[in-house]
Amino acid sequence: MALLDFFNNRNKDEAKGEMTFIDHLEELRWHVIRSVIAVLIGAVAVFVYSDFVIDKIVMGPAHDYFISYKIFCNLSHSLGLGETLCFGKIPVAFQSNTMSGQFIASFTVAFVGGFVVAFPYIFWEFWRFVKPALSQKEIRKTRGVIFWVSFLFFLGVGFGYFILTPFMVNFYFTYKLSPLIEIKPTFSDYLENLVYTTVGIGVLFQMPLLIMVLARIGVVTGRFLRKYRRHAFVIILIAAAIITPSTDPFSLTIVTIPLYLLFEASIIIASRINKRQEKEMKEWS
């Protein structure tokens, strides 16, 4: 019903003869085109500075002087844990076993980087398309949505990059079944893991906003979320396993904890929205 209402609201002008369904599709097409152009501009900028991006950013967690390793070690000493969180020197080395591997990887880095940089603009274009379907009251209630969506996305990307990826790199390059086995994965394998654990988590960090929208249109309630809290934990665990191709206990735990905390925050948000809606219904009755 909510989806039908959305299109009905966007088609109000159509009844007046001002816009047709084709006009709405044309408008959507231009929003998509502008978003793609923004990604391309970001990709070009990343590609121009590809040496810096790859050496300092992409390969950052592979260096033993990466800032996260220093922070973890200092935190370990502050908590009286000794060298527990101090990773030490990590024997990291990658290989490229195809002729075009590094060339294709440079484009992958450029386009992923372009998407991350352009994400606020991409959502802004999406919001411009959706906004006409909302009432003035709904628009007032969604002020700052672009900021919060972008903030949660970059928070998720930062969490995946500065916290999860260092633990993954350290775990896999120090875990050995035998000293005769040399660990030297392909760069594409490392890059794939990096994308999953940064962009993927950035998208999942949108959970509170998604729950907020679903609560406002009446799809979920705080009571419903509390009732199925255990089921949600299992779903979050599965999502964490999908995001982290490295399904080691450390990575799963590190991803699952913040996602579950976001779910608990979503319950609070949904409950407040439900109370506000119930109050408004009483005022109308």
Task: Determine, yes or no, domain membership for 283.
Answer: no
Task: Determine, yes or no, domain membership for 263.
Answer: no
Task: Determine, yes or no, domain membership for 186.
Answer: no
pTM exceeding 0.85: no
pLDDT in the model for residue 130: 82
If we measure between CA atoms, which residue out of 157, 152, 254, 247 comes closest to residue 200? 157
Task: Determine, yes or no, domain membership for 147.
Answer: yes
User: Residue 120 is part of which domain span?
Assistant: 16-162
Determine contact, residues 117/150, Cβ cutoff 8 Å. Answer: no
Task: Determine, yes or no, domain membership for 220.
Answer: no
Task: Determine, yes or no, domain membership for 100.
Answer: yes
Q: Give the mean pLDDT of 105-126.
A: 94
Share of the chain above pLDDT 70, in %: 89
Cα separation, 22 vs 130, whole angstroms: 16
DSSP, collapsed to helix, strand or coil, labels residue 19 as coil
Q: pLDDT band at residue 16, thresholds of 50, 70 and 90?
A: very low
Q: For the chain, how are helix, strand and coil distributed in percent, rounded to 5?
A: 75, 0, 20
> What's the domain count of the chain?
1
Model pLDDT for residues 137-152, shown as the tens digit of each residue:
777 777 788 998 999 9
Task: Determine, yes or no, domain membership for 227.
Answer: no
Task: Determine, yes or no, domain membership for 7.
Answer: no
